A and B are shown apart, each in its own frame.
Chain A
Amino acid sequence: MLPGELFLSVAIGLVIGLIVLLVLQLIASARMRGLTDPVFEYARMKARAEADRILNEAQEKARTIVAETAMRGAELLEEQRADVGKRTDIYQKNLEAFTEHTHAAMEENAKKARAEQIKIAEAIAKEMQAQGEEIKARVSHIEKDLSSFLHDAEAQTRDIRATFEDQSKRAGADMKELLEKATTEGKKRIDERIELFLTEARKEVDAYREGRKRIIDEHMADLVAETSKVVLGKALTPDDHADLVTRALEEAKRTGML
């Protein structure tokens, strides 16, 4: 046998041997799988059961958390509602207190305005009365002066007349002419004095009238304003007030304030 043939025979023998070993290995593997499959199946089933249990527990916990959150949310909402209710009550009470306070303040203002009005009216009346008294005294004084003057004039006339009568008895017709002349002059002097007194009396009356007008002018606006405030504050409806507000704004626009 040649060396080449020997080498070939050995190689073939090795290949055949390897094939035989491979077949034996496959048979052994098939037998091992047949023995180990139930164990793997058991382990897999157990793992799945464990996973299901964990999943169920997680879902249960999640449901519990959701339910607790919902309940807590409802409680918080209820608390908020109760808080809003309390705040609304406090707001109502504050509003009522404020309304009462405003009403009281308005009443107080009305009282003050009324008192101020009475005070102004009394001051005017007092001043007018004082001036009236003064004028009355002056007029009375003038009347007395006039009466005294007339009395004196009459006495003088009587004296002159007596003198002239005496003289007429002594002087005759010429004396009569003198008597008439003196009478005329006396009458003229009386008329002049009367006219003078009347002029002064007229001046006094005019001064009194002007004084009274001045007092009225000075206090009239205040009196009217205070009176109107008292009256308008009570007599006007809210709609009337709203109309006046609009009118005031229109005036402001017209005069360039707005």
Chain B
Amino acid sequence: MSDPQSSMLVILQNTFVLADLHRRVDLLQQFLEHSFFTDDPQKKDPVRSIRAYYAEADEDIRQHVEAITAWGPDFFASFNARDLYEKVKEFKQFIELLPRITLYVPVRLAPSRAGSIGSWCRTNIRKDLILDLKVDPAVVGGCAFAYEHAFHDLSLPYFLRQKRDDFAKLVRTYAA
């Protein structure tokens, strides 16, 4: 697992949203700096050590940390003090090259739901796809997305247009 591509594949196994991906890489880097450049008493057990390091952080960060611990001890063992920054740099370059779908949603979604949608995209569109979520209240009743240089709006007006005839019949029924 020494090459960045293999490490990134491990990260992508439980990371579906672009913002989460950046956040987790940053948290990992911060922890590894602590582990390599200070007297970390739990250095030999990185999973326990990262939990202890972020124990006082807020709930959001601790959820990310739990996701990071799932990457396993072998993943942590692939880093060392000499090539840490080089690897992080390669991670970030790799992230920029990932195929992505920009999804516009009307409200901020819970992390679990965002993850489910990202998983759906990996299953049904492309297995290495990353989800770039953006909030736009105008797309209420559905969503809009940009993928492979095309934009599609599947919000409420789209579904209403599909049901236009049904609405017309309904109104005529009441108007008659």
- Residues of A that sit less than 8 Å from B by CB: 73, 77, 84, 102, 105-106, 109, 209, 212-213, 216-217, 220-221, 224-225, 228-229, 232-233, 236, 238-239, 241-242, 244-249, 251-253, 257-258
Asked if B4 lies at the interface with its beta carbon under 8 angstroms from chain A, I say no
Known: A220-B171, A241-B109, A251-B154. A228 touches B141 (CB 8 A): yes
Asked if B161 lies at the interface with its beta carbon under 8 angstroms from chain A, I say yes
By a CB distance below 8 angstroms, the chain A residues around B37 are 73, 77
B140 close to A233 (CB less than 8 A): yes
Smallest CB gap from B38: residue in A: A77
By a CB distance below 8 angstroms, the chain B residues around A84 are 30
A228 close to B154 (CB less than 8 A): no
- Residues of B that sit less than 8 Å from A by CB: 30, 37-38, 103, 105-110, 113-114, 116-117, 120-121, 124-125, 135, 137-138, 140-143, 145, 147, 150, 152, 154-158, 160-161, 164, 167-168, 171-172, 175
B110 close to A238 (CB less than 8 A): yes
Q: 5 extra interchain contacts, Cβ-Cβ under 8 A, other than A242-B109, A246-B117?
A: A109-B138, A216-B171, A238-B108, A241-B107, A257-B154
A252 close to B145 (CB less than 8 A): yes
A102 close to B135 (CB less than 8 A): yes
By a CB distance below 8 angstroms, the chain A residues around B158 are 248
Select which of A109, A216, A224 is within 8 A of B160 by beta carbon.
A224
B156 close to A225 (CB less than 8 A): yes
- Closest CB of chain B to A30's CB: distance in Å? 63
Closest 3 CB pairs of A and B: A248-B142, A248-B154, A242-B113
A245 close to B135 (CB less than 8 A): no
Known: A109-B138, A220-B171. A249 touches B120 (CB 8 A): yes
By a CB distance below 8 angstroms, the chain B residues around A217 are 168, 171
